[in-house]
Structure 1
Amino acid sequence: MKMKNYFIITLFIAGLLFTADLSAQNRSKSDEGDEELRTTPKLVVGIVVDQMRYDYLTRFYDHFGKDGFKRLVEQGFNCKNNHFNYAPTSTGPGHTSVYTGATPSVHGIIGNNWYDKEADLDVYCAGDDSYSSVGTTSDAGQMSPHRMTVTTVTDELRLHNQMRGKTIAIALKDRGAVLPGGHTANAAYWFHGADEGKWITSTYYMKQLPKWVMDFNTSGKAKSYKKAWNTLKDIKEYKESGTDDNAYEGLFEGETAPTFPHSTTSLLDKTKDFDLIKGTPYGNSLTTDFAIEALKQEGLGKDGITDFLAVSFSSTDYVGHKYGVNSKEVQDTYLRLDEDLARLFKALDKNVGEGEYTLFLSADHAAIQVPAYLRDQKIPAGYVDNASNSKKLSEFLNYTYGTEDIVKNYSNYQLFLDHEIIKNLDLKLADVQANIAQEFLSYAAVDRVYTADQMWNNEYTSGIPYILQNGYNQKRSGDILIVLKPGFISYSNTGSTHGSPQIYDTHTPLLFYGKGIKPGSTVKRTEIPDIAPTIAALLGISFPSGTSGKPIIAVLE
C-alpha cells in the first residue's frame, strides 16, 4: 500500500514538472515571437545633422572620440551608400522625408519656401499665422506642420499608443523641429535668437511654456555661448581641411580675414544679437543642453510606452554656408559635435538605460564644395549669371509671346507659368513648356531641363529625372524644372550650398544604433524615405500614410 502511494505521488510530481516545463517552453516561444513581432525600446531618438555629407564621417574619423560618431559606427549599423532620391535637397523637404518615409511628390513640402500657385503668394514650409507665438512677443512662433499632407513616424507611434507616449522635437531652426514632430507632437521647440535668445514654441502645441523651459531660458545658458570660437585641437592637426586663410570663405561682421580665432567685437560685444550663436558650433552645444534637459524634465523613456525625441543640429548648416565644405571651421564644428553627441548618449544611458533606446542619425541634405575652389583645382565648376539669364529670358518671352507676364514666378529652380494667359493666347500649355525649356538649354550653366508635361506623362526609374520626379508635386510644383551643370550653383563666391539633384547634395550618412538594431554595414543603396518604415517595422506600428520607402532589411535582421 505504501509502495503504491509512493508510485502515485512520484507520477503526480513528474506530471507537474512536465507541465511546468511545457509552460516555460511556451512562455519562451511566446517571448521569442513577441521579439520577432516588434521591438519595444523605451525611447526612440531621431537625430538629423543639417548639411552633413557622408564623407565627413570618414574624413574626420581619426579625430573623433570613442563615444560619439565612433560609437554609432562601430556598435551600430552604417548605411554607406545612402541618398536623397529627390530634389530640391534642402532643410524643409529633408526633415519631412526622413520622418514621413515619403518624397515631396507625396508629402507636399517642396522647398523651404515656394510659390503657392493657387494662393498666388510665396509661402514658408512651417509658417502658419493662424497660430501665435509662445515664449516671445515676436512672430517667430507662428508655426505649424499644416502644409505637410501626410503623417510622420512620430504621429504613427502616438496613434499606436493611444496618444499615451510623448513626442518632443527640438532644433535651432523652427522647421527642423516642427516637421519631425509631426501633427501630434506634445511639443516642438526652436531657438529664437535676435535680442532674446530663448527657446520658444507655438500655440499649435501649448498655451504657455513649461516651467522647465522658462527656467532654462532664464538660466543664462545661451549667453554663455557668446564667446570666442577657437579650434578644439591644435589647428596644425586639422590636415583633413584646407588652409585657414583663403578666398573661399565668408566673414563675421568686423572680420578682415576668415581665420581662427573668431572673436570680433560683433561676435562678443553685441549682447543682444543671439543669432550669432547659430553660426558657431556652440549652437549645437546649446541644442544638446536643451535636449538633455527635455529628456530629464519630460521623463522620456521612463515607462513601458515608447516615447520619441527628435533632435536636429542646425549649426552645421550655418557654418557650411559661410565657410564651405573644405574649411577648418567645418572640421572643428564636427569635432565639437562629436563631443556633444557623446554627452547626449551618456545622458540617454543614464536616464533611459543603455540598450533600452533605439537611435538613428542622418542628414537633411549634403553640400557642394565651393565652386571657386574647385575651379582653382582645374575641376569644372562655376556660378550662374542670373542677370544675364534674366535678360535673355525676358527678350525671348517678348519676342516669342509678346509678353513677359506668361511667367508668374521662379523658385527652387522651377518656373511657374500663367496658365490663364497661355489659354487666352490660344496656346497649348505643353508646347509653351517645351519652348521655354528649349530656351533654357542654351544658357551656359544649365545642364538639362524638364517640363511638368514630362513629369505627368512619364515614369522615370533612375538618374536625374527619377530624382526630379520624386520631388515634383502635381498640385504645388512648377511648369519647368531646371538642372544646373555639376559643380555650378546660384550662390555667392564664398561658402557652400545645396539643393540640387547632384550626388554631392544627395549622399548623406545613415546610422542606426541601439535596441533591435543589428551591428554591421552595407554598401547597397538606401534612400532617405527608407528610414521611417525601418523604424516603424522595428516598432511594429503602422507606416506613415504616404510611405514610399522600404524597411532596410539588413538593419533589422
Structure 2
Amino acid sequence: MRKIATAVALATLPGPGPHAAPELRPKLAVIIVVDQMRADYVDRFNGQWTRGLKRMVTQGAWFEHAAYPYLSTLTCAGHATISTGSFPHVHGVFQNTWWDRDARKLMTCTEDPRATAIGYGAPVTGGDSAYRLQVPTFADQMRTRRQARVVALSLKDRSAVMLAGHGGDAVVWLSNTLDGWESSSAYAQARLPAIEAFLEANPMAADFGKTWDRRLPVASYSGPDEGAGEAPPEGWTRKFPHTLNGARGKPDAVFMAQWVRSPFADAYLGRFAASLVRSLELGKHESTDVLAVSFSSPDFVGHAFGPRSHEVQDVYAHLDQTLGTLFDGLDAQVGKDQWVVGLTADHGVTPIPEQLVAESTDAGRINGAAISEAVERVVRPVLGEGRHVTMLNINDLYFEPGVYAGIRKSRELLDAVMAAIAARPGILRVFRAEEVRGAEKSKDPLLRAAALSYFPGRSGDLILVPKPGWMISNAGTTHGSSSDDDQRVPLLFMGPGIKPGTYQQPVTPADLAPTLAALSGLSLSKAEGHALPCIQ
C-alpha cells in the first residue's frame, strides 16, 4: 500500500533561517503552476525535455521532496496555498466549492455576489474575486507595498483569481462555458485593450481541425496507449491521434472540450502571457512586477487519461516547448538575468483505480450517495423522517441545520454514524469537526492533515479520509486525498539570486511565495512557509 500523508509533518517543521535579499532585485517575479503535476513526472520525463522544463531542472534549484501537508488536495486550495504561503486552515480556501450554510447552496471558491463579470467574446454572468481568501497573496503585497504590476491568467477562474488575489492589472481566465474569456470588476472596470487585442488576433478556433499526435517517437512512451478506465472527451478514443474536430464540423462546445484537453491550449496560454508581458511592459518598472500563469491542460488531460498514459507524458513534452518559448521571450523582453521564476503544482493525482486493481492493489471508486444513505438509515430511527444529510462534497459531509447537534447529544448515535461511514468501501478514517479544529500539531498524521484543511464555518460536520487509490469519481481519475500520489509535487526555482542544484530537505509549495518575496526584498507576515536556502 502506498504511504499516506508523509508530508503532513512538514507543516510543523521549523523552517530555514531568514535569507537576505540579493543586492539586485529581479525586475519580474514569475509564478508558474502546472495543474496536477506529480513530483515523479520530473524523474520520469525530464530526459525527454529539451527547453523550458529542462532549463529549470538543469539551471535551477530543484527541491525533490516537496509535498502538501493537508488532506483536501484540490485546485483552489493549492493555488491559494502557493500564492499566500499559508495553508487552508489559515487562508480559508479548502476546496473548489463548499456548502454555504447561510446561503443554503454550494458556492465556488471565487464566487462573489459583489463582483460583476467582464466578458471577452461571449456573454457572461455573475462575478468572481478572491474575497473569500483570508490572507493577502504575494502579488497583493507586491502590488500594494511596491506598486508592482500584476498579471495572472489561466484556463480556470479559481487558478487565475487565487494567484492574483484581491487586485491586479490584468487577471483573466477562460469562462466556464469555454466559449470566451472573462475577468471581473474586482480587477478592472471595463475590458482591457491589451486582452482584447490578443484575443482578436488569436482566435481559439484557429486550432480547429488540428490533430494532437505524439511529439516524441512512439518507443519513447511507457505503458499502453489505451489504458483501462480512461475517459476521453466526446469525439476521441483512448488511443492517439486525437483530432480537434468537434461534433458538427465546426468549433462547437465539443471542440472546446477537446481543445482544453490538448497541448494547444497550453501553447495558447503561453502566447497570451507573453503578449501581456509586452503590452503591459512587465519588468520595465522600478519595482519587481509579477506574472502568474497556471497551465490547466495537464489537469484536464490527467483526469481523462490518468498519470500513466501516453497523453500525460506527451502533454509535458509539449509544455516543455511552451515554457521554453515563454522563457526565451522573457529573456528578450525583460533581460536574461532580470527575472526569477518559481514552478510548482497545486496537487498531484492518483492512478486510475481500474489500473491499480488490475495490479492487485487496493483501490476503487467511492459511492458518495451510498455513504449519505447509510448515514440516513442510522439517523432516521432516532431523529425522525426527513432529510438529515445535506450533501457529501469530496471529503466534507454536511448535515441539515440542527441535525449534527442532535446527533452529538447521543454518543451511541454519533458512534453509529461514524461506524456506518467507516464501513463503506474506500474510507480510511472519519473525523468529527470538533476533533479536527485546532489539531494542526497533532501527532496523528491523518488528523493533522485534516486539521490543516479545516476552516471553521465552511468545512463539513464530518471529515472523511479516503484510502490511497480510492476516490469519489465515476470515470477517469482524480485527486483530493492525503496520499503521496496527491500530495507530492515538484518545486523548482530559477533566475538571479537562485543557487542551482538539487535539494533534499522536505519543503511545501507554501515556501514558493516567501522565497520569491525574499528575492524581491519583501516579507510575508502571514505566511506559514519559509524562504528556502536556494537563495544565494
- TM-score computed with the length of structure 1 as normaliser: 0.87
Instruction: Check conservation: 1:38, 1:539, Cα contact below 8 A.
Output: no
Give distance in 1, aligned partners of 2:270 and 2:297: 12
Mean CA deviation greater in 390-399 or 362-371 = 390-399
- How far apart are 1:178 and its partner, in Å? 0.9
Instruction: Specify the alignment match of 2:138 in structure 1.
Output: 153
The alignment partner of 2:460 has SS state of: coil
Is residue 525 from structure 1 mapped to residue 509 from structure 2 by the alignment? no
Give distance in 2, aligned partners of 1:36 and 1:379: 48
Give distance in 1, aligned partners of 2:171 and 2:412: 46
The alignment partner of 2:490 has SS state of: coil
Instruction: Specify the alignment match of 1:261 in structure 2.
Output: 241
Instruction: Check conservation: 1:112, 1:125, Cα contact below 8 A.
Output: yes
Give CA-to-partner distance per residue, 1:438-492, whole Å, 9 cap, x none. Answer: 3211222211111112113644156222111100112211111111111111112
Q: Report 1:544-555 matches (<5 A).
A: 545-552=525-532, 554-555=533-534
Q: Structure 1 vs Structure 2: percent identity of aligned residues?
A: 31
Give distance in 2, aligned partners of 1:264 and 1:551: 43
Give CA-to-partner distance per residue, 1:470-526, whole Å, 9 cap, x none. Answer: 001122111111111111111124x22101111110000000110111111212110
The alignment partner of 1:110 has SS state of: coil
Instruction: Check conservation: 1:38, 1:537, Cα contact below 8 A.
Output: no
Q: Report 1:81-230 matches (<5 A).
A: 81-136=65-120, 138-139=123-124, 142-161=127-146, 164-192=147-175, 194=177, 196=179, 198-230=180-212
Give the root-mean-square deviation of aligned CA atoms. Answer: 2.3
Gaps of 5+ in 2: 1-18
Instruction: Check conservation: 1:199, 1:213, Cα contact below 8 A.
Output: no
Give distance in 2, aligned partners of 1:339 and 1:410: 40
2:231 to 233, 250, 254: 250
The alignment partner of 2:98 has SS state of: strand
Runs of 4+ in 1 over 6 A off after TM superposition: none
Greater Rg, structure 1 or structure 2?
1
2:58 to 54, 74, 78: 74
Is residue 42 from structure 1 mapped to residue 27 from structure 2 by the alignment? yes
Q: 1:135 to 1:401 in 2, by over 3 A?
A: closer
Instruction: Specify the alignment match of 1:306 in structure 2.
Output: 288
Q: Report 1:423-502 matches (<5 A).
A: 423=405, 425=406, 428=409, 433-456=414-437, 458=439, 459-461=441-443, 463-493=445-475, 495-502=476-483
- How far apart are 1:192 and its partner, in Å? 3.1
Instruction: Specify the alignment match of 1:289 in structure 2.
Output: 271
- How far apart are 1:267 and its partner, in Å? 6.3
Give distance in 1, aligned partners of 2:69 and 2:100: 23
Instruction: Check conservation: 1:116, 1:122, Cα contact below 8 A.
Output: yes
Instruction: Check conservation: 1:228, 1:267, Cα contact below 8 A.
Output: no
Instruction: Specify the alignment match of 2:313 in structure 1.
Output: 331
Instruction: Check conservation: 2:209, 2:244, Cα contact below 8 A.
Output: no
Give distance in 2, aligned partners of 1:475 and 1:195: 32
- How far apart are 1:139 and its partner, in Å? 2.8
- TM-score computed with the length of structure 2 as normaliser: 0.90
Q: 1:265 to 1:123 in 2, by over 3 A?
A: same
Give CA-to-partner distance per residue, 1:361-383, whole Å, 9 cap, x none. Answer: 00011000101001111222111
If each structure's helix is expressed as a fraction of its own residues, which one has the higher value? Answer: 1
Q: 1:388 to 1:181 in 2, by over 3 A?
A: closer
Mean CA deviation greater in 449-458 or 268-277 = 268-277
Give distance in 1, aligned partners of 2:412 and 2:137: 39
Mean CA deviation greater in 47-56 or 405-414 = 405-414
Q: How many residue pairs end up in the alignment?
A: 514
Q: Which amino acid aligns with 2:299?
A: D
Instruction: Check conservation: 2:428, 2:465, Cα contact below 8 A.
Output: yes
Instruction: Specify the alignment match of 1:414 in structure 2.
Output: 396
- How far apart are 1:417 and its partner, in Å? 2.8
Q: 1:216 to 1:277 in 2, by over 3 A?
A: same
Give distance in 2, aligned partners of 1:236 and 1:290: 31
- How far apart are 1:402 and its partner, in Å? 2.8
Q: Which amino acid aligns with 1:293?
A: S
Give distance in 2, aligned partners of 1:36 and 1:532: 14
Give CA-to-partner distance per residue, 1:216-236, whole Å, 9 cap, x none. Answer: 222244122223333243552
